[in-house]
């Protein structure tokens, strides 16, 4: 799916701003979508609704919420194809225009769009969006069915309270706040009636040159042409055909920290699109991760899209700040844990040379034997998982910043190892097939009984989340180091690269101690130093990504003091001691050839 753009053939505008809003129940009610809301609340779009008001209903809502706004299309544009595009609505939604249903979407982290034709458009249009925030066994991320909150009380004495007497609410099987609503921009754009629907770009390095293949999908018949522009907008190759091999002489590579972007300009009848791309290759060879043929070392973070007030809503200034803090620390990468991030953040990574592992929202997966209603939900979830893999890759396939796809975070791959492998094997092949660049594919695992796990050694890069010294051997860094060492020895047999995609310790900013105790800033530093000493011993360990870049909000619970505090930065992006530790460490670790 192409990112919307304004150019000489396409018009683009946004519907972002203050919208009308009200809460509904667990069933979709027509009265909130057919006509203007009565006494609506005012709310900003795009942003999660949860933290926008000093009102507990917003934080704890369960079920549908309704958004409305008005727009008009200038008469001069009405002869074009008009498209309404949502960057992300979390989690499921149904869209109405002037009381007519015009679309719906499942899943909260990817864009979807719909054409608005003359049969639905009026002079002044009422746009209504019904948003459902419920997570359960059928959704990604996965919700618990047992009506017990994560970290909740599981004593049988309290069963009746847990099961019957409390009002319905979300029970996430994941450790981040279930921020919901219209989280990314709502845009309107036009194209000609015959148009460019999609573009696929692959590049190969051939000595000093690059060989570029541009494929495209068109709606309608006509003549198409491709030209290539350099990063200043100068045309360096002109008037080529789609699918024709294009050679860029003395090509500039897209490198981590040194991004260089070319643009493929595609014209088709009265339509035109400018697709940026980079010349870069990714490969896994033996136990190395190669970018442009050289062994790369990942230095960076697992992140979240999370901030005060906006919740999971897009904040582009924050994105700029985060990338700048990464550069300040000499980090080179992050994982979009635990869902696909906004296109705007990935655009920035393409421009800034930040390396990205892109993850689906498949977090909280297990593979129990289920029947009846749960089996139906399980099958629905599996189908949805396939769909999000396809949609995520369709959205992000041309991005040079993305070097690997993560199909899931911490599925229970050791509890039912054969079932898990049967589940992931087809998804692994699907991801490779969907991607014109066939990037490496991984599943991020965290199994205490890791020897049973068949998925981790099956995928292209072994990605492990590990909390020795925190959840296991809490506070005992000696035992933690030994456990980490034993695990690394185990994984070294597979002749594949491994990276630590999460490790960390909750740290309350401002808590200091001469003797490093858990929760203090000193402990976080000692913890990372102990773990890194082990990781540095192993050549096949090709990266370290801390958990987390910044403190973030989660469901309430005794394990979380106003959220998860494993950030290297606080939620408002102030460095903890560990930020300085990593800045010092990563300044000395090169992007390439760290472990010769
Ligand atoms: C890991 C999860 C991550 C959590 C983290 C933690 O992947 O989402 O936030 O643990 O407990 O298991 O801090």
Please give the pLDDT value at position 150: 44
Integer Cα distance of 586 and 575 in angstroms: 15
Regarding pTM above 0.95, the answer is yes
The answer, yes or no, to whether any atom of ligand 1 lies below 6 A from the CB of 552, is no
Active-site residue flag, 115: no
Distance 20 CA to ligand 1 centre (A): 35
State the SS3 of 14-71.
ECCEEEEEEECCCCCCCHHHHCCCCCCEEEEECCCCCCCCCCHHHHHCCCEEEEEEEE
> Is residue 169 very low, low, confident or very high in pLDDT (cuts 50, 70, 90)?
confident
Mean pLDDT of 327-332: 98
The sign one gets for the Cα dihedral 402, 404, 406, 410 is: negative
% pLDDT > 70, the chain:
96
The pLDDT tens digits for 331-356 are 999 999 999 999 999 999 999 999 99
Distance 591 CA to ligand 1 centre (A): 26
**Of residues 281, 359, 410, 544, which has the active-site annotation?**
410
Q: What's the chain's average pLDDT?
A: 96
End-to-end alpha carbon distance in the chain: 40
The pLDDT tens digits for 504-527 are 999 999 999 999 999 999 999 999
Residue 151 reports pLDDT greater than 50: no
Among the listed residues 519, 145, 69, 87, the one whose alpha carbon sits nearest the alpha carbon of residue 312: 87
> Is residue 161 very low, low, confident or very high in pLDDT (cuts 50, 70, 90)?
low
> Is residue 114 very low, low, confident or very high in pLDDT (cuts 50, 70, 90)?
very high
Pocket probe for ligand 1: among 337, 339, 465, the residue whose CB has the most ligand atoms within 8 Å is 465
The answer, yes or no, to whether any atom of ligand 1 lies below 6 A from the CB of 290, is no
Residue 383's Cα: distance from chain center in Å? 19
The pLDDT tens digits for 204-228 are 999 999 999 999 999 999 999 999 9
Distance 110 CA to ligand 1 centre (A): 22
Please give the pLDDT value at position 145: 79
Q: Give 201's strand partners.
A: 214
For helices 577-588 and 521-535, give the axis angle rounded to 10 degrees: 30
Please give the pLDDT value at position 155: 62
Please give the pLDDT value at position 59: 96
Residue 164 reports pLDDT greater than 50: yes
The pLDDT tens digits for 16-45 are 999 999 999 999 999 999 999 999 999 999
Distant-in-sequence, close-in-space partners of 453: CB < 8 Å, separation ≥ 6: 413, 414, 417, 420, 445, 447
Please give the pLDDT value at position 557: 85
């Amino acid at each position: 799916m192409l990112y919307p753009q304004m150019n000489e053939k396409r018009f683009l505008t946004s519907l972002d701003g203050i919208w009308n809003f009200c809460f509904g129940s667990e069933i979709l009610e027509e009265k909130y979508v057919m006509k203007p809301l009565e006494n609506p609340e005012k709310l900003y779009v795009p942003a999660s609704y949860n933290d926008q008001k000093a009102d507990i209903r917003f934080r704890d809502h369960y079920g549908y919420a309704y958004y409305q706004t008005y727009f008009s299309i200038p008469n001069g544009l009405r002869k074009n194809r008009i498209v309404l595009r949502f960057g992300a609505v979390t989690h499921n939604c149904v869209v109405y225009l002037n009381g007519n249903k015009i679309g719906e979407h499942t899943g909260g982290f990817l864009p979807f769009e719909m054409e608005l034709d003359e049969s639905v458009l009026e002079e002044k249009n009422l746009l209504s969006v019904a948003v459902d925030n419920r997570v359960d066994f059928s959704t990604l991320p996965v919700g618990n069915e047992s009506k017990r909150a994560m970290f909740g009380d599981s004593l049988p004495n309290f069963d009746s309270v847990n099961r019957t007497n409390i009002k319905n609410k979300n029970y996430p099987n994941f450790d981040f706040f279930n921020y919901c609503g219209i989280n990314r921009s709502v845009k309107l754009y036009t194209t000609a009636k015959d148009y460019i629907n999609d573009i696929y770009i692959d590049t190969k390095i051939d000595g000093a040159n690059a060989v570029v293949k541009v494929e495209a999908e068109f709606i309608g018949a006509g003549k198409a042409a491709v030209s290539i522009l350099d990063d200043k907008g100068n045309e360096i190759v002109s008037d080529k055909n789609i699918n024709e091999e294009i050679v860029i002489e003395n090509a500039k590579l897209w490198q981590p920290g040194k991004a260089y972007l070319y643009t493929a300009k595609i014209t088709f009848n009265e339509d035109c699109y400018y697709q940026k791309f980079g010349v870069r290759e990714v490969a896994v060879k033996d136990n190395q991760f190669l970018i442009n043929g050289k062994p790369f070392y990942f230095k960076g973070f697992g992140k979240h899209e999370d901030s005060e007030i906006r919740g999971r809503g897009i904040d582009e200034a924050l994105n700029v700040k985060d990338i700048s803090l990464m550069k300040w620390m000499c980090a080179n990468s992050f994982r979009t844990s635990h869902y696909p991030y906004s296109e705007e953040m990935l655009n920035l990574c393409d421009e800034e040379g930040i390396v990205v592992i892109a993850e689906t929202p498949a977090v909280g997966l297990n593979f129990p034997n289920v029947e009846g209603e749960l089996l139906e939900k399980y099958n629905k979830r599996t189908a949805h998982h396939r769909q999000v893999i396809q949609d995520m890759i369709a959205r992000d396939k041309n991005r040079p910043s993305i070097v690997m796809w993560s199909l899931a975070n911490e599925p229970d791959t050791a509890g039912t190892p054969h079932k898990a492998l049967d589940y992931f094997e087809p998804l692994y092949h699907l991801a490779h097939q969907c991607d014109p660049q066939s990037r490496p594919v991984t599943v991020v695992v965290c199994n205490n009984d890791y020897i049973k796990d068949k998925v981790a050694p099956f995928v292209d890069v072994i990605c492990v989340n590990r909390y020795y010294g925190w959840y296991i051997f809490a506070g005992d860094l000696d035992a933690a180091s030994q456990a980490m060492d034993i695990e690394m020895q185990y994984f070294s047999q597979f002749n594949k690269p491994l990276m630590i995609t999460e490790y960390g310790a909750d740290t309350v900013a401002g808590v200091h101690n001469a003797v490093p105790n858990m929760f203090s800033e000193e402990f976080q530093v000692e913890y990372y130093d102990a773990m890194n000493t082990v990781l540095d011993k192993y050549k096949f360990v090709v990266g370290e990504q801390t958990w987390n870049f910044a403190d973030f909000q989660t469901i309430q619970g005794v394990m979380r003091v106003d959220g998860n505090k494993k950030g290297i930065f606080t939620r408002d992006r102030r460095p903890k001691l560990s930020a300085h530790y990593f800045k010092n460490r990563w300044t000395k670790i090169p992007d390439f050839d760290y472990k010769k």
